[in-house]
């Protein structure tokens, strides 16, 4: 814990612990954007590492699988050993991964570095929400949670900027700085007061809570400790009352519309995110820019322009999403994204056939900027907003797990197949396939997505079910809400879910 200076306000302390998380996320953003500067440099004649097209796609796509694996590692660590220790553990693989990359002399070593970095990204995914949610005051939590998407976008921007000036080894060395700073800041950060309370270390929890929040939020402190005490008292009796027929209970749950409809909805929403173009642009920026704008275009310049636009659009999205209805925002940005992809496909096809009556650099530049604007403003943040709203409280955990798995697998498939797809059907064929996938996903979302803005979770759940709760279901819901164990878990779940809204 940092020294207790009178001039250091609780807000400044919360900024410090949030910055420790944010610095790590910047490093992970650098990891995501690194292939865009690594692969073009390895293709140059003087490169001492030669890669095939398949190997290049593995370096870009392997993060999708390893981050899925990593996401399952963190939960038991942070539950047993604490949030602070888990943050240490998360940072080690990305540091080793960067140094492995810097010293790499062949494809296998580069791949090992990417695997370690992907594990770290996956391990931080569930932890970052918990850290910010448990450290920050409710007054500041929303603002701090916006830093998740902004810091990742900044990391992508930063690695593309530095990589356009320096070699990939020097760029990787500079990127180590963010994770190292996060490690040092974590040393001086306290343990989460919520975790201390969960281990019955109530006095330590009170001390840390007051250090972070001051003395103005005693109600939340005592409520948290009381909830944990109730949790301990009720845990044994709740286990005894559990039904023995878990398989039958699982089948009944799957058949519920309020369970399977949101899952189908979110699976398509996260697949849509990957085909919208933000994922491929982060990893294959220079290649895509040259394919669309032409070989004479300054790919590094346009890469920085698009990254800057992403930062600005992410910031704008935080305010716009809170003003407009979800369906309006989804289908407005989705429709524009489909239009931009079809237009890019048509433009590049006509250009390849020398059938354009008029051509100028501003045409493809406008189209690619329009596509990137729709991705950063709506297509990327909206699924995370909706994901925090459509799952009933009872199913948020399993719904979030399935959503994460879908996102990771589709992330891998899109990046792994992109080079081969471009080689086989060209950039116009690739964008046609992507636009068709977007249309399919948007159609499913149109059918399944109710308007969620301004509605309670219960109202949203009733819309998926198609009717209000009957008497028996209402009694079961009341039991769920009144049970101390589930109430405590629900409170923690709500904190985590609030972070996904702004990620």
Q: Sorting pLDDT into bands at 50, 70 and 90, what band is 492?
A: very low
Can you give the residue range of the structural domain that contains 21? 7-215
Whether residues 24 and 77 share a domain: the answer is yes
Token pair of 20, please? Answer: 């420790």
Q: How many residues comprise the chain?
A: 503
What integer pLDDT is reported at residue 11 of this predicted model?
80
Domain of residue 182, CATH code = 1.20.1250.20
The answer to whether residue 233 is domain-embedded is no
What integer pLDDT is reported at residue 252 of this predicted model?
66
More confident residue, 167 or 234: 167
Mean pLDDT of 163-190: 94
Mean pLDDT of 170-174: 97
The answer to whether residue 302 is domain-embedded is yes
Mean pLDDT of 51-61: 93
- Rounded Cα–Cα distance for residues 464 and 466 (Å): 5
What integer pLDDT is reported at residue 398 of this predicted model?
76
Predicted confidence (pLDDT) per residue in 78-110, tens digit: 888 988 999 999 999 999 999 999 999 999 999
Residue 50 has pLDDT above 70, yes or no: yes
What integer pLDDT is reported at residue 250 of this predicted model?
63
Whether residues 391 and 304 share a domain: the answer is yes
Mean pLDDT of 2-31: 82
For residues 452 and 462, the answer to whether their CB atoms sit within 8 Å is: no
What integer pLDDT is reported at residue 480 of this predicted model?
46
Of 166-180, 418-432, 485-499, which gets the smallest average pLDDT?
A: 485-499
What integer pLDDT is reported at residue 343 of this predicted model?
96
What integer pLDDT is reported at residue 482 of this predicted model?
47
Whether residues 286 and 369 share a domain: the answer is yes
The answer to whether residue 495 is domain-embedded is no
The answer to whether residue 75 is domain-embedded is yes
Q: CA 367, 370, 372: angle at the middle one, nearest 5?
A: 110
Mean pLDDT of 280-286: 92
More confident residue, 404 or 495: 404
Q: What is the mean pLDDT of the chain?
A: 83
What integer pLDDT is reported at residue 485 of this predicted model?
45
Residue 457 has pLDDT above 70, yes or no: no
If you search the block for the tokens 């610095």, which residue do you land on?
23
From 165, 186, 215, the end of a domain falls on: 215
What integer pLDDT is reported at residue 230 of this predicted model?
63
Whether residues 288 and 436 share a domain: the answer is yes
End-to-end CA distance of the chain: 28
Q: Sorting pLDDT into bands at 50, 70 and 90, what band is 502?
A: very low
What integer pLDDT is reported at residue 126 of this predicted model?
79
Neighbours of 464 (CB within 10 A): 20
Structural domains counted in the chain: 2
What is the DSSP track for 58-126? HHHHHHHHHHHHHHHHHHHHHHHT-HHHHHHHHHHHHHHHHHHHHT--SHHHHHHHHHHHHHHHHHHHH
DSSP state of 44: S
Residue 163 has pLDDT above 90, yes or no: yes
- Rounded Cα–Cα distance for residues 500 and 503 (Å): 5
From 182, 215, 248, the end of a domain falls on: 215
More confident residue, 202 or 444: 444
More confident residue, 412 or 218: 412
The answer to whether residue 110 is domain-embedded is yes
Exposed, middle or buried: residue 215 (CB in 10 Å: 0-12, 13-18, 19+)? exposed
More confident residue, 390 or 479: 390
What integer pLDDT is reported at residue 338 of this predicted model?
96
What is the DSSP track for 478-498? HHHHH-HHHHHHHHHHHHHHH
Residue 280 has pLDDT above 60, yes or no: yes
Whether residues 185 and 105 share a domain: the answer is yes
The answer to whether residue 341 is domain-embedded is yes
Whether residues 175 and 288 share a domain: the answer is no
More confident residue, 438 or 250: 438
Residue 147 has pLDDT above 90, yes or no: no
Whether residues 274 and 150 share a domain: the answer is no
Neighbours of 376 (CB within 10 A): 26
From 184, 215, 246, the end of a domain falls on: 215
Whether residues 359 and 453 share a domain: the answer is yes
More confident residue, 446 or 210: 446
The answer to whether residue 251 is domain-embedded is no
Whether residues 211 and 262 share a domain: the answer is no
For residues 20 and 182, the answer to whether their CB atoms sit within 8 Å is: yes
Of 129-138, 318-327, 352-361, which gets the smallest average pLDDT?
A: 129-138
Whether residues 261 and 204 share a domain: the answer is no
What integer pLDDT is reported at residue 14 of this predicted model?
84
Whether residues 207 and 266 share a domain: the answer is no
Of 135-149, 327-341, 431-445, 488-502, which gets the smallest average pLDDT?
A: 488-502
Residue 424 has pLDDT above 80, yes or no: yes
Whether residues 204 and 275 share a domain: the answer is no
What integer pLDDT is reported at residue 483 of this predicted model?
47
């Amino acid at each position: 814990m940092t020294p207790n200076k009178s001039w250091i306000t609780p807000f400044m302390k919360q900024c410090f612990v949030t910055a420790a998380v944010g610095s790590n996320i910047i490093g992970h953003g650098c990891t995501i954007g690194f292939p865009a500067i690594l692969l073009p440099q390895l293709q140059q004649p003087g490169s001492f590492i030669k890669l095939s097209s398949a190997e290049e796609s593995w370096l870009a796509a392997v993060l999708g699988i390893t981050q899925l694996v990593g996401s399952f590692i963190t939960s038991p660590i942070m539950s047993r050993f604490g949030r602070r220790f888990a943050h240490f553990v998360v940072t080690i693989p990305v540091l080793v991964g960067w140094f492995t990359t810097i010293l790499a002399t062949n494809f296998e070593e580069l791949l090992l570095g990417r695997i370690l970095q992907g594990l770290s990204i996956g391990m931080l995914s569930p932890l970052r929400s918990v850290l910010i949610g448990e450290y920050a005051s409710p007054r500041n939590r929303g603002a701090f949670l916006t830093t998740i998407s902004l810091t990742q976008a900044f990391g992508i921007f930063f690695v593309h900027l530095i990589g356009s000036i320096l070699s990939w080894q020097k760029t990787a060395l500079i990127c180590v700085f963010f994770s190292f700073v996060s490690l040092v800041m974590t040393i001086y950060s306290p343990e989460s007061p919520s975790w201390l309370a969960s281990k019955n270390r109530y006095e330590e929890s009170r001390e840390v809570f007051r250090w972070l929040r001051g003395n103005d939020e005693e109600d939340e402190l005592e409520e948290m400790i009381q909830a944990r005490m109730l949790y301990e008292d009720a845990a044994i009796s709740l286990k005894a009352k559990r039904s023995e027929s878990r398989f039958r209970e699982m089948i009944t749950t799957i058949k519920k519309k309020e369970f399977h409809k949101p899952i189908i909805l979110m699976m398509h929403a996260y697949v849509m995110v990957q085909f919208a173009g933000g994922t491929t642009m982060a990893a294959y920026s220079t290649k895509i820019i040259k394919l669309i704008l032409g070989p004479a275009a300054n790919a590094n310049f346009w890469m920085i322009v698009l990254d800057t636009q992403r930062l600005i659009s992410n910031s704008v999205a935080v305010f716009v999403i809170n003003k407009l209805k979800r369906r309006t925002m989804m289908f407005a940005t989705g429709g524009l994204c489909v239009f931009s992809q079809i237009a890019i496909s048509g433009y590049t096809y006509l250009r390849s056939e020398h059938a354009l009556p008029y051509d100028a650099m501003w045409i493809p530049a406008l189209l690619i900027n329009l596509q990137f604007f729709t991705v950063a403003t709506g297509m990327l943040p909206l699924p995370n907003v909706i994901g925090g709203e459509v799952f009933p409280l009872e199913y948020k955990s399993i719904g979030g797990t399935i959503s994460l798995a879908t996102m990771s697998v589709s992330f891998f498939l899109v990046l792994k197949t992109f080079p081969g797809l471009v080689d086989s059907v060209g950039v116009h064929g690739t964008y046609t396939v992507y636009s068709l996938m977007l249309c399919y996903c948007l159609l499913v979302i149109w059918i399944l997505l109710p308007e969620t803005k301004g509605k309670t979770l219960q109202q949203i759940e009733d819309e998926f079910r198609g009717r209000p709760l009957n008497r028996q279901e209402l009694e079961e819901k009341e039991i769920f809400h009144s049970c101390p164990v589930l109430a405590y878990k629900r409170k923690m779940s709500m904190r985590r879910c609030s972070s996904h809204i702004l990620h």
